[in-house]
Structure 1
Amino acid sequence: MIDHPMKGLSVEPVVRSPLREEIRKVLLDGLISGRWEPGERIVERRLAAELQVSQAPVREALRELETLRLVESAPNKGARVRGFTPDDLREVYQVRAGLEETATRLGRPSVAALRAHVARLHAAAAAGSLEDQVRHGVAFHREIVAASGNALLVSVWESLGVEVWTHVSIRLFRMRPHENAADHEPLVEAFDRDDPGVGRLLHDHVLAYAP
């Protein structure tokens, strides 16, 4: 692992993925950890120097984050972290809820796989790991979306940046981490009994986390 002077952030050696993706991960980690606060400028040249890369892949990674509405740029001013509002987050959750509800009409996920994700959620909560809670929670929902068998739906859902927005919502809009392992159990039971109302249950479950 190659360490860089980025407040404890680190970058894996670039061996399996494009350099742009590695830089994108560093930027996302910085947004999640609070290295860059809303309204703060991300200096392309400075970041490139820290990572010992050219500015081109940094610029490409910033453009990708702009499509996620995490950063914004202006001519001659560079990139800046967006000033997030509850409305921004609510819009993401509304779209996500609709996509996941649609996914349940197209396919059914493995109940065993869902139970495994919930078990990992409980373990992460017991260990006090917010990062793992978010990761396993997103994996639970990804299981449902993937089971739809609809590649376009999956692509749109992934493009929402669910994991990043979840971290942002916890860091900016909640006073304390929200342990939500138990909230997923009714969904598992609904899928297990092939409840025709599982789509609406899932929709409401997702919206319950919007500010």
Structure 2
Amino acid sequence: MSGPDALTRSVLADQVKERLLESILDGSYPPDSRIVETAVAKELGTSQAPVREALRGLEALGIVEITPFRGARVRRLDSAELLEAYVVRSAIEVLGARLAMARLTDDDVAALLAIGEDMRRAADAGDGRALAIVDASLHEKLIQLSGNSTLLRVWRSLEPMSRTYITLVGPGSDPQWTAALHDPMLDAIRARDTEAVVAAIESHFDEVRERLAGSLPDVAEQQDQAGAPRARATS
């Protein structure tokens, strides 16, 4: 199919994918639950074709798995895979921060700090879901400000995986800890100190990985068997 019909279906599939991702993140579809194409199509008032395409997109992100004759299920993420994704995200965000800091305007700084304020308000309200969304938006904004569209695409392919895990099956969340984790990054952005931003991002991901690894005994066991060093926070 080509032309306007193909474009319309592609746009619709993207919209369905976002709706499904939102439902996965808010727990409407917990890990291992089935996503039935016909039910989603009926709920959203569309045909099955864009739903099928949306599910393939989520499969490419590692969020769902599609099995012949059994359909789609929300994927229960492998803990070691999640920690590997954080290593890659750290490297991507360090590169993004270096590129962004070289082009940052006063308005850009103000926008990033405003997101930080939104994060603090969500933490004070104890709203973990809102905090997860604002948290992601801060990281995404910094990548957007890098001006590198390829970097942004790669980042977006990894972020839903980690946010799905944290939202649904991660250890008991501490909103204040999560918000405070971003303070060094925001302080460095305010000071326009590129190296301090880089150090804050690296420390941020080290702390998150350490917290997850410490709460997931299967990760520690896998790392011991593989002879790999355990994630640790830097001082």
Which aligned pairs between 1:183-194 and structure 2 lie closer than 5 A? 183-191=181-189, 192-194=191-193
Shift of 1:100: 0.4
> Structure 2 CA distance, aligned partners of 1:31 and 1:207?
26
Give the aligned residue type for 1:165.
S
> Residue 65 of structure 2: SS of its match in structure 1?
strand
> Residue 196 of structure 1: SS of its match in structure 2?
helix
Q: 2:97·2:198 contact (CA, 8 Å) conserved in 1?
A: yes
> Residue 162 of structure 2: SS of its match in structure 1?
helix
> Residue 62 of structure 2: SS of its match in structure 1?
coil
Shift of 1:46: 2.5
> Structure 2 CA distance, aligned partners of 1:53 and 1:111?
41
Give the structure 1 partner of residue 97 of structure 2: 104
Residues 1:181 and 1:159: Cα distance change in structure 2 (over 3 Å): same
Unaligned runs of 5+ in 2: 1-9, 213-235
Give the structure 2 partner of residue 45 of structure 1: 38
> Residue 107 of structure 1: SS of its match in structure 2?
helix
> Structure 2 CA distance, aligned partners of 1:202 and 1:114?
14
Give the aligned residue type for 2:88.
V
Give the stretch that moved more between structures: 55-64 or 149-158.
Answer: 149-158
Give the stretch that moved more between structures: 62-71 or 28-37.
Answer: 28-37
Give the structure 1 partner of residue 222 of structure 2: none
> Residue 209 of structure 1: SS of its match in structure 2?
helix
Task: Please state if 1:138 is matched with 2:131.
Answer: no
Task: Please state if 1:87 is matched with 2:80.
Answer: yes
Aligned residues: 195
Shift of 1:66: 0.4
Pick the structure with more helix per residue: 2
Match of 1:73 among 62, 66, 77: 66
Give the structure 2 partner of residue 198 of structure 1: 197
Residues 1:38 and 1:167: Cα distance change in structure 2 (over 3 Å): closer
Q: 2:126·2:175 contact (CA, 8 Å) conserved in 1?
A: no
Sequence identity of aligned pairs in percent? 36
Task: Please state if 1:31 is matched with 2:24.
Answer: yes
Unaligned runs of 5+ in 1: 1-16
> Residue 195 of structure 2: SS of its match in structure 1?
coil
Pick the structure with more strand per residue: 1
Which runs of 4 or more aligned residues in structure 1 lie more than 6 Å from their structure 2 counterparts after TM superposition? none
Shift of 1:137: 1.4
> Residue 169 of structure 2: SS of its match in structure 1?
helix
TM-align CA RMSD: 2.3
> Structure 1 CA distance, aligned partners of 2:109 and 2:45?
46
Deviations 1:38-82 (A, max 9, x none): 222222122223333211011011001001101111222211211
Match of 2:56 among 56, 63, 70: 63
Shift of 1:104: 2.3
> Structure 1 CA distance, aligned partners of 2:154 and 2:42?
33
Q: 2:26·2:167 contact (CA, 8 Å) conserved in 1?
A: no
Which aligned pairs between 1:146-165 and structure 2 lie closer than 5 A? 146-160=144-158, 162-163=159-160, 165=162
